[in-house]
């Protein structure tokens, strides 16, 4: 049974556009917040339809500045930063939770995996827990709108939304009406992860010298792949580097 919950929320350009901001809270069963962060880039760098951009402009707080978040440059880097923290907390035993995961959060996680395949194929949440399903198990409306605490305002800020979801999750799990079977189902964690022997580096476009590392960083090479620059080991995590699809980049 899991005792740690990583509850996250994503803001995207419409329901099916690209995510440009993610916020999360890591909380234990006693309600202690162990970590909370927001990663965001300029919404204009994310893919989406014009009508959906207008909704974002009207409803989502501006997040890509140091006072509101950990700013990043692109949606890809937002996903890389989030994935790095998810793997950290997954190793410790946290399970991943979102409210009404489809489509925004589910698509965001799928994009995270697509950014670095096949390395991330088996690193995602299994299962991905949905707060809406917890509410349904309690006989409550899974899509109801709930009152917010001061630190959960304004809405549509991903960290504020994640804080509210985390609070509602703990309240639901402590409700007398939840059976032991339901509790076990909702808090089941994934099998113990196996640490990767390599750090995968993925290039941000064929003509771009920026490489994203699987340990959550970005590195600029003026030319060539890591192995062509005699980078046998990742300069961040120390593991042997690997760049799928680039001949001669697997070392060790």
- Which of 73, 87, 78 is CA-nearest to residue 115? 78
User: pLDDT 10s per residue in the chain (252 long)?
Assistant: 678 999 999 999 999 999 999 999 999 999 999 999 999 999 999 999 999 999 999 999 877 555 556 778 899 999 999 999 999 999 999 999 999 999 999 999 999 999 999 999 999 999 999 999 999 998 999 999 999 999 999 999 999 999 999 999 999 988 744 444 455 555 555 444 455 678 888 876 655 677 888 777 778 887 888 888 888 888 888 888 887 655 444 444
* Structural contact between residues 153 and 160, judged by C-beta atoms closer than 8 angstroms: yes
Tokens of 176: 């007398």
Q: Which helix (H) or strand (E) holds 157?
A: none
Q: Are 249 and 241 in contact (CB under 8 A)?
A: yes
Cβ neighbours for 55, distance < 8 A, ≥ 6 positions apart:
14
Give the domains, in start order, of the chain with CATH numbers: 4-186 (3.30.420.10), 199-242 (no CATH)
What CA–CA distance (Å, rounded) separates 29 from 197?
32
User: Among candidates 58, 2, 61, which has minimal Cα distance to 29?
Assistant: 2
Q: Taking a C-beta distance cutoff of 8 angstroms, is the pair 92, 99 a contact? A: no
Q: Which two tokens stand for residue 82?
A: 């989030």
Give the residues across from 213 on adjacent strands: 201
Angle at 23 between CA 180 and CA 117, to 5 degrees: 90
């Amino acid at each position: 049974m899991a005792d740690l919950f990583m509850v996250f929320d994503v803001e995207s350009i419409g329901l099916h556009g690209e995510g440009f901001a993610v916020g999360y809270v890591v909380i234990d069963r006693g309600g202690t917040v162990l970590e909370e962060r927001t990663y965001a880039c300029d919404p204009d760098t994310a893919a989406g339809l014009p009508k959906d951009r207008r909704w974002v402009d009207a409803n989502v707080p501006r997040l890509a500045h140091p006072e509101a978040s950990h700013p990043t440059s692109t949606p890809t880097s937002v996903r890389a930063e989030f994935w790095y923290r998810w793997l950290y907390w997954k190793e410790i035993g946290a399970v991943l939770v979102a409210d009404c995961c489809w489509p925004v959060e589910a698509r965001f996680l799928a994009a995270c995996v697509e950014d670095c395949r096949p390395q991330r194929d088996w690193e995602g949440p299994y299962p991905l827990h949905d707060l809406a399903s917890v509410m349904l198990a309690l006989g409550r409306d899974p899509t109801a709108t709930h009152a917010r605490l001061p630190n959960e305002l304004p809405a549509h800020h991903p960290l504020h939304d994640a804080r509210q979801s985390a609070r509602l999750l703990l309240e639901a799990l402590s409700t007398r009406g939840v059976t032991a079977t339901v509790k076990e189902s909702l808090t089941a964690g994934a099998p113990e992860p196996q640490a990767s022997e390599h750090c995968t580096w993925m290039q941000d476009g064929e003509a771009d010298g920026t490489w994203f590392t699987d340990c959550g960083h970005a590195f600029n090479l003026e030319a060539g792949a890591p192995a062509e620059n005699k980078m046998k080991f990742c300069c961040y995590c120390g593991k042997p580097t690997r760049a799928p699809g680039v001949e001669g980049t697997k070392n060790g």
